[in-house]
Homo-oligomer: A and B are copies of this chain.
Amino acid sequence: MSSQSLPLLYDWEKLQSFCCDVFTRAGVPVTDASIVAESLVQADLRGVESHGVVRTGIYLKRVEQGMMDPQAKPSVVSEYGNVALVDGNNNFGSVVGSYALDLAMERAKLHGAGIVGVKGSNHFGTGAYYALKAIQQNLILLVMSNASQTMPPTGGVRPFIGTNPLCIGVPAGEENPFILDMATSVVARGKIIVAAQKGEKIPLGWAIDKDGNPTTDAEAALEGSVLPIGGPKGYAISMFIDILSGVLTGAGYGRYVNNMYENWQEPQNVGHFFLAIDISRFMPIEMFKQRVDQYMRQIKNEPKAPGVSEILVPGEIEYRQTEARKQGGIQLPPKVVEELHEIGLKYGLQLSDAAFQHHPVIGETQGLTG
């Protein structure tokens, strides 16, 4: 099939299988391949394209170039009480992250809270991927990661700190869980990558070019720096995430976190920080969930500013996107489709097999089944 005639709409389950098969054929153990594929497709489902299957190509290239080691297993370097230090041994970030998350959750249930620091890891996808798993266990999860240099310190002109992401997940009762998953930049650098791939301009204020000038050119922004939220406050938050994820763990930090796209001599040595909290050690879980529900409902019912139709809570949009894309398919940009198509051919797989076909739902089949 020529790339001209490739479909743009994909079935999330089939797309996940496609990615899992690709990684497996590239030498990744199937259990790990399924984690990576799940993490990527979940991001596309949630509308976080920047961390979706768009990353498949670069992940594979890191493996093919020997920059990631899918054979190495993460290991515990040290543990004491409720804290542990993990070495990812340069496996996929989402494989390492999942290993660390399990340790943190286990310790939370044993001690009330569990903290796991991680070194020797790679880009670990979205923080929400881990938060959603912790929420299913009735745990609160705070997860952070450092990243390669993309933002200048306040007063600087070139990238020094990463857009180090901060994520927190909190279980709710009848409401959707609270999920804050943000980069410390005005926007995630990945959004600029997507804009560049779509050939779109970016809003002023997202980034500066390599000379420190404001720019709307996505390509120029990728050569320059994205800017932190709130100026010095975002810069400081990014530093503190770097300190917990990198300085404390023995991972890279600042200039020692290598760029996934540009450094082909060394592993990234990304660091992460996981904190899991057992809610039931503070109050009965049902009471807590009622309080979260009430809190979110009261905020949603606040008077709205002129022109605002709805007040949203963190994670709400992503839950709606997930429902919509599970029902209606995941639309991928042509550039991403072409890249995945080529990757598929390389590994003897047809991306088009993952194309979205509408599945009839009960309402529509009654005529046939009734």
Contact = CB atoms under 8 A, between A and B. Distances in A.
A330 B312 CA distance: 44
Given A83-B282, A312-B154, A302 B160 contact: yes
Contact of A275 (B153, B275, B279): B275
A232 B233 CA distance: 15
B160 A299 contact: yes
A182 to B, nearest CB: 5
A67 interface: no
A161 B313 CA distance: 12
Contact of A155 (B113, B230, B308): B308
A201 interface: no
A180 B298 contact: no
A233 B187 CA distance: 10
Contacts of A275: 275
A178 B311 contact: no
A160 B298 contact: yes
Interface string A255-280: 10000000000000000000101110
A310 interface: yes
Interface in A296-311: 298-299, 302-306, 308, 310-311
Interface string A117-130: 10000000000000
Give the one of A115, A250, A308 with max B CB within 10 A.
Answer: A115
A111 interface: yes
Interface size class of A (residues with CB under 8 A): 35 or more
A239 interface: yes
Interface string A79-106: 0111101000000000000000000000
A295 interface: yes
Given A85-B281, A156-B311, A253-B291, 10 more contacts: A113-B113, A154-B311, A155-B308, A157-B304, A158-B302, A160-B302, A170-B243, A180-B237, A247-B295, A254-B298
Interface of A: 78, 80-83, 85, 110-113, 115, 117, 140, 152-158, 160-161, 166, 168, 170, 178, 180, 182, 186, 212, 229-230, 232-234, 236-237, 239-240, 242-244, 247-250, 253-255, 275, 277-279, 281-283, 288, 291-292, 295, 298-299, 302-306, 308, 310-314
